[in-house]
């Protein structure tokens, strides 16, 4: 079986893909909800009221080693840490898509901590780890669309492994109803979807 490399690609904002030299040993997906305690006199413990869900986070350690090539490892780590920089057009950091296997996580880089562990005689680093935390990104229109019926136009961002029939199944409850999506988005070949592509999901009666 061919080894699949992890990939970080910018889907909203400037910049391209970030090369992950080595796949992470592990990653952690975290999610949480926020509740409020409702004070009712006379009860031994207050009942809980759901307030909101919090954004999921994806955390991992990325490993970089350029010792055999004799190059500065910071040339690679900078590509990761630059994802913290403000995009001049967005006025915010770029939105990225982390893909590995069947994991497709769209988010923004919330935190990056570099650690340099091996150096050339010149003092230039040759090996490093970068601990990264991505926070899930969901557009407001997409979030609101989850609570509406298919009688409203929506927008969906293609994730790795998505197909038109799969999207139609999620949105309309019928995988065979993919043609309206293809038509409104000018898609001639349903196999040409790519991660990060934004599709208009037309309203149907």
Residue 1 within a domain: no
Residue 49 within a domain: yes
The pLDDT assigned to 131 comes to: 98
pLDDT, tens digit (0-9, with 9 covering 90-100), for 121-154: 999 999 999 999 999 987 654 444 444 444 456 7
The pLDDT assigned to 141 comes to: 42
146 backbone dihedrals φ, ψ, rounded to 5°: -70, -20
- Which CATH number characterizes residue 11's domain? 2.40.30
Number of folded domains in the chain? 2
Based on the domain organization, do 33 and 67 belong to the same domain?
A: yes
Domain boundaries, position 167 = 140-201
The pLDDT assigned to 205 comes to: 62
The model carries a pTM of: 0.66
Give every residue of the chain whose pLDDT is below 70, as ranges.
1, 139-153, 205
The tokens 């403000």 sit on which residue? 86
Q: Which helix (H) or strand (E) holds 167?
A: helix 164-172
CA atoms within 13 A on the CB side of 47: 5
The pLDDT assigned to 84 comes to: 96
Alpha carbon distance 194, 61 (integer Å): 26
pLDDT, tens digit (0-9, with 9 covering 90-100), for 179-188: 888 888 888 8
The pLDDT assigned to 80 comes to: 96
């Amino acid at each position: 079986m061919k080894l699949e490399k992890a990939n970080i690609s910018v889907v909203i904002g400037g910049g391209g893909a970030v090369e992950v030299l080595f796949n992470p040993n592990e990653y952690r997906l975290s999610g949480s909800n926020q509740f409020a305690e409702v004070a009712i006199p006379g009860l031994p413990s207050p009942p809980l009221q759901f307030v909101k869900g919090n954004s999921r986070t994806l955390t991992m350690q990325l490993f970089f080693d350029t010792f055999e090539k004799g190059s500065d490892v910071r040339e690679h780590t900078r590509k990761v840490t630059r994802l913290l920089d403000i995009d001049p057009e967005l006025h915010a950091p770029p939105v990225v898509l982390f893909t590995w296997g069947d994991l497709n996580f769209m988010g923004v880089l919330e935190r990056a901590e570099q650690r340099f562990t091996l150096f050339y005689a010149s003092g230039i680093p040759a090996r490093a780890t970068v601990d990264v935390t991505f926070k899930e990104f969901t557009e407001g229109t997409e979030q609101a669309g989850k609570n509406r019926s298919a009688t409203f136009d929506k927008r969906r961002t293609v994730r790795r492994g998505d197909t038109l029939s799969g999207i139609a199944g999620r949105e309309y409850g019928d995988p065979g109803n993919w043609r309206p999506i293809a038509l409104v988005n000018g898609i001639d070949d349903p196999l040409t979807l790519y991660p990060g592509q934004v599709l208009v999901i037309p309203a149907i009666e």
